């Protein structure tokens, strides 16, 4: 071999060997034959899926105004005669009223900023912290998408900035700004005209701005007379359309969820001489973990789905506008480490017994850990969550720890295997 060929071969080897080495190291990482999930704290509910209809004792508020501004939030209890909304003849009047209200708020903020009792002689460090807190709170509101609180957060942040400017002499007088805004406010208020308010009719109740036209149609008495098949059909197609309106008042805080479950699950809603308490998670809504009690179960003789009546006494903005839909009814919730059934293996131990457990990745070594689930479904098991082996029987038996890397899929797994 000539010297030139030798040098060429050596140069190629110098380039190829690092590439081959890097490829050998990366292949197991990029194309590894297993998947892992980190063991974290979770909650799994012992639940039954259902569908049904929510009914209440409710009364729509009668008003034909085209434009309105609500004064109370959904789910708020109001007494008879209390103002629940301001009504307008057209959108222009409403816009002027809203502008007057915004300017009044800004005027109040400027007046407060200039107040000697709040700003003059104030501690600069305290005012700086108030400014920083106000700005951070405003950013949190924006980041969380809580736009209902945006106006108050903006006002608080601006007030903190103004106080600091007054205290440091940067802006000692807002008189000109106050005079200009006062003139604009008065002009807008004059254009809006005299305020007209809609009051809650007797006897009062819990207010909602939404109606669907079924308030006097779907009542507890009506659904008491229906069978499971009728409830199921109503849950699929209740009729009506939920929309903004003059609103309604719900008489009392108790309401009912009529639902259907399979006959096998129906037995779980029946208690001999006692009361069955459950929690309802309504799908696709913010109404979660709503406490309820079972007040009635009607089972068919032929084993077809049963009708269940649940009573709830928890009312807020998330529950007051519920009507028809699916839900998960939970009998108990289990806290711990949730593990996919696909990760669970059964091994024959040295003494011949069968042991359930999971394979856990430690570095690049596989280890088998015993589990004794406290609850399981077709998809998951739940074991106690802990950061170290405890002293009680359950903790000693269950060897999985929080943040273990549990192998949920892989081939030819065994304890001691190198990955």
Of residues 394 and 411, more confidence is placed in 411
One domain for residues 190 and 214:
no
Average pLDDT (107-125) is 67
In a domain, 4, yes or no: no
Three-point CA angle 79, 83, 88, nearest 5° = 155
One domain for residues 184 and 123:
yes
Distance of CA 37 to the CA centre of its chain: 24
Identify the domain boundary among 333, 354, 380. 333
In a domain, 14, yes or no: no
Read off the CATH number of the domain in which 359 is found. Answer: 2.40.420.20
One domain for residues 309 and 375:
no
Give the Cα separation of 225 and 369 in Å (integer).
55
238, pLDDT greater than 70: yes
In a domain, 17, yes or no: no
For the packed helices 175-192 and 91-114, what is the interaxial angle rounded to 10 degrees? 160
In a domain, 390, yes or no: yes
272, pLDDT greater than 50: yes
Average pLDDT (38-52) is 94
Give the Cα separation of 270 and 298 in Å (integer).
10
One domain for residues 344 and 300:
no
Average pLDDT (375-401) is 80
269, pLDDT greater than 90: yes
Query: Are the C-beta atoms of residues 314 and 254 closer than 8 Å to each other?
Result: no
The per-residue pLDDT for 5 is 65
The per-residue pLDDT for 10 is 61
Say how many domains are in the chain: 3
Give the Cα separation of 190 and 298 in Å (integer).
62
The per-residue pLDDT for 287 is 94
3-state secondary structure at position 402: coil
The per-residue pLDDT for 121 is 52
Q: What is the CA radius of gyration of the chain?
A: 33
Give the Cα separation of 296 and 228 in Å (integer).
12
217, pLDDT greater than 90: yes
Token reading at 196:
């007209």
Contacts with 144 (C-beta within 8 Å, 6 or more apart), sequence order = none
In a domain, 364, yes or no: yes
Give the Cα separation of 312 and 258 in Å (integer).
11
Give the Cα separation of 388 and 386 in Å (integer).
6
Token reading at 190:
């004059």
323, pLDDT greater than 90: yes
Identify the domain boundary among 197, 220, 241. 197
Query: Which helix (H) or strand (E) segment is 189 a member of?
Result: helix 175-192
One domain for residues 94 and 136:
yes
One domain for residues 323 and 257:
yes
One domain for residues 323 and 341:
no
Distances (CA, A) of 3 to 13, 15, 16, 389: 15, 19, 20, 66
One domain for residues 328 and 341:
no
Of residues 111 and 210, more confidence is placed in 210
The per-residue pLDDT for 116 is 46
Of residues 31 and 8, more confidence is placed in 8
Identify the domain boundary among 146, 170, 197. 197
Give the Cα separation of 83 and 23 in Å (integer).
74
- Residue 89 belongs to domain spanning: 83-197
In a domain, 55, yes or no: yes
One domain for residues 241 and 179:
no
b/e 266-299 (16+ beta carbons within 10 angstroms → b): bebbeeeeeebebbbbbeeeebeebebebeebeb
Query: Are the C-beta atoms of residues 385 and 403 closer than 8 Å to each other?
Result: no
Query: Are the C-beta atoms of residues 174 and 113 closer than 8 Å to each other?
Result: yes
Contacts with 397 (C-beta within 8 Å, 6 or more apart), sequence order = 370, 372
In a domain, 219, yes or no: yes
The per-residue pLDDT for 242 is 82
Q: What is the DSSP string of 2-52?
A: -HHHHHHHHHHHHHHHHHHHHHHHHHHHHT-SEEEEE--EEEEEEEEEEEE
Token reading at 385:
């969550």
In a domain, 357, yes or no: yes
One domain for residues 322 and 345:
no
One domain for residues 144 and 229:
no
Of residues 381 and 152, more confidence is placed in 381
């Amino acid at each position: 071999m000539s010297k030139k060929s030798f040098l060429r071969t050596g140069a190629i080897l110098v380039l190829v060997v690092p590439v081959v080495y890097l490829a050998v190291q990366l292949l197991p990482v990029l194309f590894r034959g297993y998947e892992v999930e980190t063991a974290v704290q979770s909650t799994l509910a012992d639940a039954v899926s259902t569908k049904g209809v929510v009914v209440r004792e409710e009364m729509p508020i009668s008003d034909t105004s085209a434009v309105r501004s609500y004064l109370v939030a959904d789910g708020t209890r109001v007494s008879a005669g209390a103002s629940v909304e301001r009504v307008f003849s057209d959108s222009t009047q409403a816009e002027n009223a809203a502008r007057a209200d915004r300017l009044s708020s800004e005027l109040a903020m400027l007046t407060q900023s200039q107040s000697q009792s709040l700003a003059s002689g104030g501690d600069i460090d305290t005012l700086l912290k108030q400014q920083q807190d106000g700005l951070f709170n405003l950013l949190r509101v924006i980041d969380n998408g809580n736009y209902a609180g945006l106006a108050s957060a903006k006002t608080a942040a601006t007030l903190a900035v103004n106080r600091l400017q007054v205290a440091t002499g940067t802006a000692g007088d807002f008189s000109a700004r106050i005079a200009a805004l006062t003139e604009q406010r008065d002009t807008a208020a004059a254009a809006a005209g005299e305020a007209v308010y809609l009051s809650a009719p007797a006897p009062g109740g819990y207010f909602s701005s939404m109606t669907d036209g079924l308030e006097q149609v779907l009542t507890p008495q009506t659904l008491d007379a229906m069978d499971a098949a009728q409830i199921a059909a109503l849950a699929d197609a209740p009729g009506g359309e939920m929309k903004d309106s003059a609103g309604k008042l719900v008489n009392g805080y108790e309401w009912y969820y009529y639902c259907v479950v399979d006959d096998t699950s129906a037995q779980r809603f029946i208690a001999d001489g006692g009361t069955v308490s459950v929690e309802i998670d309504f799908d696709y809504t913010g109404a979660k973990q709503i406490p309820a009690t079972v007040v009635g179960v009607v089972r068919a003789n032929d084993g077809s789905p049963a009708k269940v009546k649940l009573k709830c006494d928890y009312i807020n903005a998330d529950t007051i506008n519920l009507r028809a839909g699916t839900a998960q009814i939970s009998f108990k919730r289990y806290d711990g480490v949730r593990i996919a059934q696909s990760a669970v293996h059964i091994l024959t131990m040295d003494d011949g017994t069968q042991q359930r457990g999971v394979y856990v990745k430690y570095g690049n070594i596989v280890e088998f850990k015993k589990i004794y689930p406290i609850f399981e479904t077709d998809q998951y098991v739940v074991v106690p969550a802990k950061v170290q082996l405890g002293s009680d029987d359950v903790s000693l038996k269950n060897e999985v720890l929080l943040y273990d890397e549990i192998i949920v899929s892989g081939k030819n797994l065994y304890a001691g295997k190198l990955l």
